[in-house]
Amino acid sequence: MVTTEQQEKLRGWFAGRLSDDLFEELVEVRVDREEITVIGRIPEPRLAKDAPAAEREAALQGRIEEFRERTREARIEVAREAEHRFRRKVSWGVECGGERALFTHVAAPVMTRLRQPERQVLDTLIAGGVARSRSDALAWCVRLVQRHADGWLTELRDSLEHVQRVRAQGPDAEPEDTPKDDE
Protein backbone atom coordinates (compact mmCIF):
# COMPACT_ATOMS: atom_id res chain seq x y z
CA MET A 1 0.00 0.00 0.00
CA VAL A 2 1.16 3.53 -0.79
CA THR A 3 1.20 5.93 2.16
CA THR A 4 -0.19 9.46 2.05
CA GLU A 5 3.34 10.86 2.22
CA GLN A 6 4.48 8.70 -0.71
CA GLN A 7 1.38 9.77 -2.65
CA GLU A 8 2.14 13.45 -1.92
CA LYS A 9 5.77 13.06 -3.04
CA LEU A 10 4.62 11.35 -6.23
CA ARG A 11 2.10 14.11 -6.96
CA GLY A 12 4.80 16.69 -6.22
CA TRP A 13 7.22 15.01 -8.62
CA PHE A 14 4.65 15.10 -11.43
CA ALA A 15 3.65 18.70 -10.60
CA GLY A 16 7.31 19.71 -10.85
CA ARG A 17 8.15 17.58 -13.88
CA LEU A 18 5.17 18.39 -16.12
CA SER A 19 5.48 21.54 -18.20
CA ASP A 20 3.22 24.37 -17.05
CA ASP A 21 1.38 24.44 -20.37
CA LEU A 22 0.41 20.75 -20.39
CA PHE A 23 -2.64 21.01 -18.10
CA GLU A 24 -4.64 23.91 -16.67
CA GLU A 25 -4.47 21.99 -13.40
CA LEU A 26 -3.12 18.68 -12.19
CA VAL A 27 -6.37 17.17 -10.90
CA GLU A 28 -5.33 13.78 -9.58
CA VAL A 29 -2.38 11.41 -9.30
CA ARG A 30 -3.47 7.90 -8.26
CA VAL A 31 -1.13 5.00 -7.59
CA ASP A 32 -1.33 1.32 -6.80
CA ARG A 33 1.15 -1.56 -7.09
CA GLU A 34 1.05 -1.64 -10.90
CA GLU A 35 0.16 1.80 -12.16
CA ILE A 36 0.31 5.56 -11.71
CA THR A 37 -2.59 7.45 -13.27
CA VAL A 38 -2.09 11.15 -13.94
CA ILE A 39 -5.22 13.20 -14.67
CA GLY A 40 -5.18 16.87 -15.63
CA ARG A 41 -7.76 19.45 -16.61
CA ILE A 42 -7.67 20.88 -20.12
CA PRO A 43 -9.54 23.92 -21.43
CA GLU A 44 -13.05 23.46 -22.74
CA PRO A 45 -13.75 24.29 -26.39
CA ARG A 46 -15.46 27.66 -26.90
CA LEU A 47 -19.06 27.18 -27.93
CA ALA A 48 -22.14 29.33 -28.05
CA LYS A 49 -24.05 29.25 -24.75
CA ASP A 50 -27.06 27.74 -26.50
CA ALA A 51 -25.07 25.05 -28.36
CA PRO A 52 -27.00 21.76 -28.59
CA ALA A 53 -25.88 18.86 -26.35
CA ALA A 54 -24.71 16.81 -29.34
CA GLU A 55 -22.49 19.68 -30.51
CA ARG A 56 -21.09 20.14 -27.02
CA GLU A 57 -20.34 16.41 -26.65
CA ALA A 58 -18.64 16.26 -30.06
CA ALA A 59 -16.56 19.37 -29.27
CA LEU A 60 -15.40 17.89 -25.96
CA GLN A 61 -14.42 14.61 -27.64
CA GLY A 62 -12.59 16.54 -30.35
CA ARG A 63 -10.69 18.59 -27.77
CA ILE A 64 -9.70 15.47 -25.82
CA GLU A 65 -8.50 13.69 -29.00
CA GLU A 66 -6.56 16.80 -30.09
CA PHE A 67 -4.87 17.03 -26.68
CA ARG A 68 -3.98 13.34 -26.70
CA GLU A 69 -2.31 13.52 -30.12
CA ARG A 70 -0.59 16.89 -29.61
CA THR A 71 0.95 15.98 -26.25
CA ARG A 72 1.81 12.34 -26.94
CA GLU A 73 5.60 12.79 -27.20
CA ALA A 74 5.85 14.96 -24.08
CA ARG A 75 3.73 12.55 -22.07
CA ILE A 76 5.78 9.56 -23.27
CA GLU A 77 9.00 11.28 -22.17
CA VAL A 78 7.65 11.98 -18.67
CA ALA A 79 6.16 8.48 -18.43
CA ARG A 80 9.51 6.85 -19.29
CA GLU A 81 11.26 8.82 -16.54
CA ALA A 82 8.52 8.03 -14.02
CA GLU A 83 8.37 4.34 -14.95
CA HIS A 84 12.12 4.05 -14.41
CA ARG A 85 12.03 6.04 -11.18
CA PHE A 86 8.87 4.57 -9.59
CA ARG A 87 8.82 1.11 -11.25
CA ARG A 88 5.18 1.38 -12.29
CA LYS A 89 3.42 1.98 -15.58
CA VAL A 90 2.10 5.52 -16.12
CA SER A 91 -1.35 6.12 -17.56
CA TRP A 92 -2.89 9.45 -18.49
CA GLY A 93 -6.30 11.00 -18.43
CA VAL A 94 -7.99 14.38 -18.75
CA GLU A 95 -10.99 16.26 -17.48
CA CYS A 96 -12.64 18.61 -19.91
CA GLY A 97 -16.00 20.30 -19.43
CA GLY A 98 -17.07 17.88 -16.72
CA GLU A 99 -16.08 14.82 -18.78
CA ARG A 100 -13.26 12.49 -17.75
CA ALA A 101 -11.39 10.41 -20.32
CA LEU A 102 -8.65 7.91 -19.53
CA PHE A 103 -6.09 7.02 -22.14
CA THR A 104 -4.47 3.58 -22.31
CA HIS A 105 -4.37 2.21 -18.79
CA VAL A 106 -3.57 -1.06 -17.05
CA ALA A 107 -6.24 -3.71 -16.61
CA ALA A 108 -4.47 -6.07 -14.20
CA PRO A 109 -5.75 -9.63 -13.91
CA VAL A 110 -6.64 -10.76 -10.41
CA MET A 111 -6.98 -14.40 -9.45
CA THR A 112 -9.45 -15.48 -6.80
CA ARG A 113 -11.08 -18.63 -5.52
CA LEU A 114 -14.81 -18.44 -4.88
CA ARG A 115 -17.11 -20.90 -3.20
CA GLN A 116 -20.48 -21.76 -4.69
CA PRO A 117 -22.51 -18.96 -3.00
CA GLU A 118 -20.12 -16.32 -4.36
CA ARG A 119 -20.13 -17.92 -7.83
CA GLN A 120 -23.94 -17.90 -7.75
CA VAL A 121 -23.89 -14.13 -7.18
CA LEU A 122 -21.69 -13.69 -10.26
CA ASP A 123 -23.80 -16.08 -12.33
CA THR A 124 -26.97 -14.17 -11.35
CA LEU A 125 -25.40 -10.95 -12.63
CA ILE A 126 -24.60 -12.72 -15.90
CA ALA A 127 -28.11 -14.17 -16.22
CA GLY A 128 -29.57 -10.72 -15.52
CA GLY A 129 -27.55 -9.16 -18.32
CA VAL A 130 -25.48 -6.99 -15.96
CA ALA A 131 -22.24 -8.73 -16.97
CA ARG A 132 -21.01 -10.87 -19.86
CA SER A 133 -18.75 -13.12 -17.80
CA ARG A 134 -17.74 -13.90 -14.24
CA SER A 135 -14.78 -11.62 -14.70
CA ASP A 136 -17.05 -8.73 -15.74
CA ALA A 137 -19.42 -9.53 -12.87
CA LEU A 138 -16.60 -9.46 -10.34
CA ALA A 139 -15.34 -6.13 -11.70
CA TRP A 140 -18.92 -4.78 -11.45
CA CYS A 141 -19.07 -5.88 -7.79
CA VAL A 142 -15.76 -4.15 -7.02
CA ARG A 143 -17.00 -0.90 -8.63
CA LEU A 144 -20.22 -1.14 -6.60
CA VAL A 145 -18.31 -1.57 -3.34
CA GLN A 146 -15.95 1.26 -4.32
CA ARG A 147 -18.87 3.61 -4.96
CA HIS A 148 -20.69 2.83 -1.73
CA ALA A 149 -17.85 2.24 0.72
CA ASP A 150 -15.59 5.25 0.16
CA GLY A 151 -15.72 6.35 3.80
CA TRP A 152 -14.97 2.88 5.10
CA LEU A 153 -12.13 2.35 2.61
CA THR A 154 -10.62 5.74 3.49
CA GLU A 155 -10.69 4.85 7.19
CA LEU A 156 -9.09 1.47 6.43
CA ARG A 157 -6.31 3.10 4.37
CA ASP A 158 -5.63 5.58 7.19
CA SER A 159 -5.38 2.69 9.67
CA LEU A 160 -2.94 0.84 7.41
CA GLU A 161 -0.76 3.94 7.16
CA HIS A 162 -0.68 4.15 10.96
CA VAL A 163 0.40 0.48 11.16
CA GLN A 164 3.20 1.15 8.64
CA ARG A 165 4.46 4.14 10.66
CA VAL A 166 4.49 2.09 13.87
CA ARG A 167 6.32 -0.79 12.15
CA ALA A 168 8.92 1.65 10.83
CA GLN A 169 9.68 2.72 14.40
CA GLY A 170 10.12 -0.85 15.64
CA PRO A 171 13.39 -2.51 16.68
CA ASP A 172 13.94 -4.07 13.25
CA ALA A 173 13.64 -0.73 11.46
CA GLU A 174 16.79 0.48 9.77
CA PRO A 175 18.03 3.89 10.95
CA GLU A 176 17.79 6.50 8.20
CA ASP A 177 21.51 7.32 8.31
CA THR A 178 22.58 3.68 7.87
CA PRO A 179 24.22 3.26 4.45
CA LYS A 180 22.65 0.75 2.13
CA ASP A 181 24.66 -2.18 0.72
CA ASP A 182 24.78 -0.63 -2.74
CA GLU A 183 26.12 2.75 -1.61
Over residues 34-82, the pLDDT tens digits come to 999 999 999 999 999 999 999 999 999 999 999 999 999 999 999 999 9
Amino acid at 177: D
Q: What is the mean pLDDT of residues 20-45?
A: 95
